[in-house]
Structure formats: C-alpha cells, structure tokens
C-alpha cells in the first residue's frame, strides 16, 4: 500500500539521501566484497562491481534531484510555465547523467533508425504535439525513450504510470509537479483511459503523450491470456492477428483511441525497440546482463491527417503497425543470432 504523500516526503525522500551518504562512505568495502564474491563466478558473470558503481551513481543523482526539487519548492515564486520548464530540465539532466553512467559502466550503445527529413519538415513537425505508441519492454527501455524525447527531440513527455512507482522519491516528487498521472494498481481500464484523455486534451505543440498499448511487459503466459480474452469477447479477427505476433502482446486500443480523439491535431509515432527485452526485474539484470549492452530502436511517424478517425478503422490500423513492429523485432533478433 502506498503511504500518504506527507509520509513519502518526510521519510522516504530523506532516507534516500541517508542511504546515499552511507554508500559513498562505505564504497571501498562494497567494491572489495563484490570483487571477492565475483571470483567464484566465470568471467562473463563478474558484474558485481559494475552494479555497485551504477547503484552509487543512481543514488547520488537521486539525492541531487531531491535537493534541487527542495530548492525549486522554496524558490517557487515563478509562473507555471517557467516552473514546468525547470522541472523538465531537471529530468533531462538526471536522465542524461544516468544514460552517461550506463554507457560507461555497462558499455551501453543505442542505435536509432528514423526516417530522413529535411530541416523544413523537422521544423514543421515540431509545431505539432505527438502521441507516442511504444512497445512495453521493461523500465530501462522506458527511461531511454523518455530521455531521447527530452534530449534528442526536445519534447515534453506526459505519461500515465503505475502508482507504485511513487515509492521512488525523486520520481514521485518531480513527476507529480508535471502533467502526468499515477493510477492505482486496481484502477479500472476506464479510469486509465480518462487520465489519458485528460492529458491529451491539454497538449501543446512541444508535448508528447507516451502510451504503452500492451499494458505490460511481454511474457508467453500474458500473450496466451490476452489472446484468450479477445476470443472470449468475440473478437475473432483481433485474436487471430494476435496469434501471428511472436514478440508482442496484442495492443489494447482504448487508450490510444482516446488520446487521438482528445488531441486530433497530434501526429502519431510508433516506436519499436529491442536489445534488453528480457531484463525486467533486478534478478533478470543480475543473471542476464551482457558484458556490453546494445539497444536498437526504430520509429514510424504518421501525420495527423493520415490517422483514421473511425473506431474500427483505428483498431485495424493499430494492429497493422503492431504487426510491423513485431516483424521488425524478429528481424533484429535473427540478425543478432
């Protein structure tokens, strides 16, 4: 159960700073212990020291964000737009530092394939909001997506997230000061859709609403259950198309359609990515993280005037693009093997 906000501010946030100081003071001990423990493992699995370095870097950055948020709160006598700009800048700084740490510590590389456009086309695209429909493949890929939207494409992302993520103090503080939404675990789908509609309806030309239509990370069991639900609802065509996708869950269309209806001027961007698909939990990261990590991404943009406006056509169009992403992921995995 999520504690009240006042408890999270008075206990969880200071606790992060205390843990950070403790980790920095005892860092040599942690490095010696992990190095000794790693000697019993084969060389490819000696990743303990890398985890310690990254954990310390993450905690240090979290503490810096919390201190910056406190300063922004104390010096908060500025307008709403400036207030949001400063917090988006803080998120951009945090993710850039985390990305830099991942590049150095885990030898992370990211390759993005995007359509070629002229400078005039790029400038025109920046004058319209976008709805980003991305596959769901773990927290690492989600962080990278938000980082690139902020840094590479100068967008201001909005997202609907699970309420449990507010256990992360810096995420809790910063994200709650921006146009985002946290939804409790047992919230009905209609409640999630309404939050998406609310965020989409107020988007400006630099905003980007990020949606994960699958609703969760892919597993074979979730795939089977999703197909069964489609069959039980009498959606034979959608169930058949879902069975043809090997790497994705079938998309849930309600949230995507709500966003498009609430902001009809928005272009739609489909995002495919693969590389760290199996690293969902901390246990997965510990067991499976390779010596060097590589993520490949590709996106397709659909201008607002080419987006279908009738519901049935929108559902078919969404499945078309999901099948395209699934095929692309299959090609990438085959190329690696």
| pLDDT the model gives residue 40 | 65
| pLDDT the model gives residue 288 | 55
| pLDDT the model gives residue 207 | 95
| pLDDT the model gives residue 107 | 83
| pLDDT the model gives residue 46 | 59
Residue 187: what are its φ and ψ, rounded to 5°? -65, 135
Helices vs. strands in the chain: H and E counts, helices first: 14, 7
| pLDDT the model gives residue 81 | 63
| pLDDT the model gives residue 292 | 64
- Give me 207's structure tokens: 């905003």
Nearest to 157 by CA among 145, 167, 169: 145
| pLDDT the model gives residue 194 | 94
Low-confidence ranges of the chain (pLDDT < 70): 38-46, 76-81, 117-118, 120-124, 276-292, 337
| pLDDT the model gives residue 67 | 94
Q: How far apart are CA 128 and CA 121, in angstroms?
A: 12
Q: How far apart are CA 56 and CA 126, in angstroms?
A: 37
| pLDDT the model gives residue 217 | 83
| pLDDT the model gives residue 48 | 74
**In terms of pTM, does the model score above 0.85?**
yes
Task: Look at phi and psi of residue 217 and say left if phi exceeds 0, alpha if psi is from -120 to 50, else beta.
Answer: beta
């Amino acid at each position: 159960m999520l504690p009240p906000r006042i408890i999270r501010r008075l206990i969880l946030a200071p606790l992060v700073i205390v843990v950070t100081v403790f980790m920095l003071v005892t860092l040599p001990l942690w490095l010696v212990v992990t190095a000794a423990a790693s000697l019993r493992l084969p060389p490819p699995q000696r990743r303990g020291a890398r985890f310690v370095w990254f954990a310390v870097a993450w905690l240090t950055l979290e503490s810096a964000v919390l201190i910056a948020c406190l300063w922004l709160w104390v010096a908060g006598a500025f307008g709403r737009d400036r207030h949001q700009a400063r917090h988006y800048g803080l998120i951009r700084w945090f993710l850039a530092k985390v990305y830099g740490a991942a590049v150095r510590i885990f030898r992370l590389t990211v390759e993005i394939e995007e359509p070629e456009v002229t400078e005039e086309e790029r400038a025109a695209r920046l004058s319209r909001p976008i709805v980003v429909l991305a596959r769901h493949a773990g927290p690492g890929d989600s962080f990278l997506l938000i980082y690139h939207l902020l840094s590479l494409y100068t967008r201001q992302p909005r997202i609907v997230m699970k309420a449990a993520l507010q256990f992360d103090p810096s995420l809790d503080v910063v994200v709650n000061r921006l146009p985002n939404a946290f939804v409790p675990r047992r919230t009905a789908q209609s409640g999630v859709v309404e939050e998406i509609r609310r965020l989409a309806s107020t988007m400006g030309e630099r905003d980007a609403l990020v949606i994960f239509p699958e609703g969760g990370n892919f597993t074979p069991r979730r795939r089977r259950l999703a197909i069964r639900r489609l069959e039980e609802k009498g959606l034979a065509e959608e169930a058949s198309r879902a069975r043809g996708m090997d790497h994705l869950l079938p998309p849930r269309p309600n949230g995507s359609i709500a966003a498009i209806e609430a902001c009809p001027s928005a272009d739609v961007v489909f995002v495919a990515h693969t590389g760290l698909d199996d690293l969902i939990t901390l246990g997965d990261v510990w067991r499976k993280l390779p010596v060097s990590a590589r993520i490949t991404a590709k996106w397709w943009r659909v201008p607002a005037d080419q987006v279908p406006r009738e519901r049935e056509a929108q559902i078919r169009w969404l499945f078309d693009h999901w099948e395209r992403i699934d095929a692309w992921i299959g090609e990438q995995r085959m190329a690696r093997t």
